[in-house]
Amino acid sequence: MPITPATATHSSSNGTADAILLELVDENGVTIGTAEKLSAHQPPGQLHRAFSVFLFDERGRLLLQQRALGKYHSPGVWSNTCCGHPYPGEAPFAAAARRTYEELGVSPSLMAEAGTVRYNHPDPASGLVEQEYNHLFVGLVQAAPRPDPEEVAQTAFVSQAELTERHAQDTFSAWFMTVLDAARPAVRELTGPSAGW
């Protein structure tokens, strides 16, 4: 695995780990400051920049991930291909590509911007709040995922019909349907009418 800001060990001068910072934004997505990751998710939540990735195979099936059980936020739930937060000053596109590789061991063969969506989703299980200005990306993946077990418990490629069945049976992230619905126009353009998205 390549060494990146997310995988490197950071120590401050006193030997403690540095906090992960998120970019705080206003309602128009303009950067207004930074906050430590966990504090930004404490109720009522601070509006911060995020991204969500939806990758599809050649058959128009969406790559889902089940979040690792050890994650402090929404462990064990199913969600879109990849989601996360850019570092302050990092372009959302670059962050999306970086985290997709770090979590799933694949690089998209194509990735395009698919708009933004703003939402406020409390997570009843953890008590944390997703107050996000989310940059959406859709793309194609041609390699088999090689997930990092600390990030991802398992993956699955699903058609629209299979997703409907799975969504009725399994637990999904609080933000999943919001980001998928916002990305649907770009998903349909990418996958074509026969895929049914």
Q: Residues with catalytic annotation? A: 83, 132
CA dihedral 155, 107, 178, 154 (to 10 degrees): 10
Cβ-based neighbours of 111, under 8 Å, separated by 6 or more: 53, 55, 93, 96, 97, 137, 138, 139, 140
Burial of 132 (0-12, 13-18, 19+ CB in 10 A): buried
Rounded CA-CA distance 176/83 in Å is 10
Q: Is 165 helix (H, G, I), strand (E, B) or coil?
A: helix
Cβ-based neighbours of 14, under 8 Å, separated by 6 or more: none
- How far CA 123 is from CA of 67, 108, 119, 137, in Å, comes to 14, 29, 13, 23
- In the numeric block, which tokens belong to residue 158? 């699903």
